[in-house]
Chains A and B, each alone.
Chain A
């Protein structure tokens, strides 16, 4: 059983309270960082750890921190992006619900490293219970002297605020989040300037995912080099995967990066295989915006090597036969799921969530949604597939923020890998409404039917 870094004490009763968290070794990283390390040394540790951003893009966190501009006399801010709204991803909510002090501890250490005197946790508006949990935890930490003026008797002071969002997916994009935090309409900003130069209120700002910030705690406790020993290649450390879909044991799992995908999917320690004895048809490996993969390509790369749960291995094969780590929203589909309907559902989501600022995404997402709706409900045409690919190409890469890409990839990849299912929807519209296409050759060779255990 692999070691847990983030979720080690998750099952301890009362771990959401300060006292229990502290008795399990919590806030040791704050003491170590504030009393024995300088801010630059903390950044150096994070750099050594090779920690990559857990929000989706996978940009090295230490690098991001070292890019932060540090002009004299200008405030710097750390903002935690807890606007987790990617369909299929629920790891941050889990972390914040059950072990909120881990995030707060990470925020203190990270703010100290960046020299931020004020930090914000921007939480998705729908997560009101988590906002209350965090505010309670902040009050506890403040009462014990871990937040506020002169933390632990050092000359470092930090105020930490929780800001509920308005409930828009786009506010998870870092510049849109900053706009929203400033009280404006959550439209992504045009980059450059990047937030590291001019972010919140025009000041240098670092925006990090909840999990990235939480991962700073074990890095400081054990040292960056120790952390880097976990994982594989440039994917170091552990990652929370929120597994959902037709799995026997859906939930949030902490894995060492580099775990074989097959083991993650089928072993009893993790997802435990496909529910109800069915077979795997397709996998979305990192949240709705990454390309979908058929079972055969998910378990083995195109070169017939076993696929691993790591940034590099999942991306093996590029967009032709690979996918992305994304935010770790793992969705498995069994043989009874309809890929056309799923693709339409994703497209509907992106249509609904497009901010409407730049034209390709505003108009294109709606167009794709309408065409997919038509296909799903039996009014499609054979030319629709090429139309969808063409529209997705016109959106991809031509927009201000990555939402356009995120909307285009699932559609393009679904048609790339499941074109015969789309065509079947056109040729057999009535059958497509009542039944489904089944597994076809996507799991070629077909694995043995699992025996239903329940």
Chain B
């Protein structure tokens, strides 16, 4: 099936979603996704950040779709034409969604462990306004320890339901879920039951924000000061792949996570033993440093836009030398 996204044509299999087709093309035209997770069945459609405009339904039925559609849950049709970043309506709607996601978010990035690898942070830098128009109290929740290794900071949650799907599909059984409704709804367990399962740690990896954090890593370090290294080990658990990223600070492994692809999705899920208990270099076979995209804050160490010295702006040699930095600035 042929589909055109922002003018880029691509051939994809039937049943592919618009988002996945866009990911095959890659680059700036990939819609952001906060709730969709390609490894988990049934995710998506909830956060509405991946909204796109379908200007031509298909070759057979060329009518445009009346509303913006969630690209993660809309399958492509032959001859479909989609507008993402070329459509002002999409940009406007996405800006609105980001604003909505942020109104009840505490914006405590300076003390949040997720800062630096947080999808909401990236999204807010791309689409958000510098000031909020929301002038009321934000909803707050008490922090809950779910199990001895995971902490739930519900205040930061954007209710993407990813951790619910992980519990349904990766672990044996689910004991946490969404309670209440509307903006009072919360991820929780009944009567503070501990989430204790061999694969429960994956909820930390799938959480797009800092709502579910690793208690063995909390407040240890900022992610951009750590060095990610790819490693693997022979894991006794048959369901675990044993392929991880180790996050080093100096000589110490301070965190173990699953390997994530460029969209922040774990390539394969890992077990809790690998994640929480194996924190010595001797436990692992090191493969080499992890490639981090130059776009990532982990690489550039800061989110701030570049403020070049006045001399750089006038000297053509310096300008040429800083070309890449300037390009990055315009992207931000």
The chain A residues found within 8 Å of chain B, CB to CB, are: 168, 170, 185, 190, 351-360, 362-367, 370, 387, 393-395, 397-400
Chain B residue at minimum C-beta to C-beta distance from A383 = B133
Which residues of the partner chain B approach A356 to less than 8 Å between Cβ atoms?
159, 178, 180-185
A-B pairs with beta carbons under 8 Å apart, 12 shown: A168-B181, A352-B182, A354-B182, A356-B181, A357-B159, A359-B97, A359-B159, A360-B100, A364-B100, A365-B183, A394-B96, A397-B67
Check if B51 sits within 8 Å of A394, measured CB to CB: no
Main secondary structure of the interface of B (DSSP, over half): loop
**Which residue in chain A gives the minimum CB-CB distance to B102?**
A363
| Residues on the A chain within 8 Å of B161, using CB | 357
Give the distance to chain B from A224, nearest Cβ to Cβ, in Å.
Answer: 29
Q: Which residues of B contact A168 (CB under 8 A)?
A: 181
Residues of A within 8 A of B97 (CB): 359-360, 394, 398
Q: In the complex, what residues of A have CB within 8 A of residue B178's CB?
A: 185, 356
Q: Which 10 residue pairs spanning A and B have beta carbons closest together?
A: A394-B96, A356-B185, A363-B100, A190-B45, A354-B182, A366-B183, A397-B67, A356-B182, A370-B136, A190-B73
Query: B47: CB under 8 A from chain A?
Result: yes
Q: Other than A359-B47, A359-B48, A393-B96, give 19 A-B pairs with Cβ distance below 8 A.
A: A351-B182, A354-B183, A355-B185, A356-B180, A356-B182, A358-B46, A358-B48, A359-B46, A359-B97, A362-B159, A362-B182, A363-B183, A364-B100, A367-B103, A387-B133, A398-B67, A398-B97, A400-B45, A400-B46
Asked whether B155 is an interface residue with its Cβ less than 8 Å from the other chain, the reply is: no
* A170 to B: closest C-beta gap in Å: 7
Q: Whose C-beta in chain A lies nearest to the C-beta of B42?
A: A190
Q: Which of B44, B45, B101, B181 contacts A363 (CB 8 A)?
A: B101
Point out the residues of chain B lying under 8 angstroms from A394, CB to CB: 93, 96-97, 99-100
B68 at interface, CB cutoff 8 A: yes
Q: In the complex, what residue of chain A is closest to B45 when comparing beta carbons? A: A190
Q: Does B104 contact A (CB under 8 A)?
A: yes
The distance in angstroms between the C-alpha atoms of A50 and B228, with both chains bound, is 65
Give 1 or 0 for each of B306-324: 1 = CB within 8 Å of chain A CB.
Answer: 0000000000000000000
Contact residue among A190, A352, A367, A393 (Cβ-Cβ distance under 8 Å from B134) = A367
Cβ of A410 to closest chain B Cβ, rounded Å: 17
Task: Indicate with 1 or 0, residue by residue over B38-72, a CB within 8 angstroms of chain A CB atoms.
Answer: 00000011111101000000000000000110100
Q: Which residues of B contact A399 (CB under 8 A)?
A: 48
Given the known A-B contacts A359-B100, A363-B103, A365-B182, are A190 and B70 also in contact in the complex, defined by CB atoms under 8 Å? yes
Distance in Å: Cβ of B46 to nearest Cβ of chain A: 5
Complex Cα distance, B68 from A351, in Å, reads 23
What's the Cα separation between A367 and B45 when bound, in Å? 22
Roughly how many angstroms separate A251 CA and B176 CA in the complex, as a whole number? 45
Those of B18-56 within 8 Å (CB) of chain A: 44-49, 51
Point out the residues of chain B lying under 8 angstroms from A357, CB to CB: 46, 159, 161
Smallest Cβ-Cβ distance to B183: which chain A residue: A366
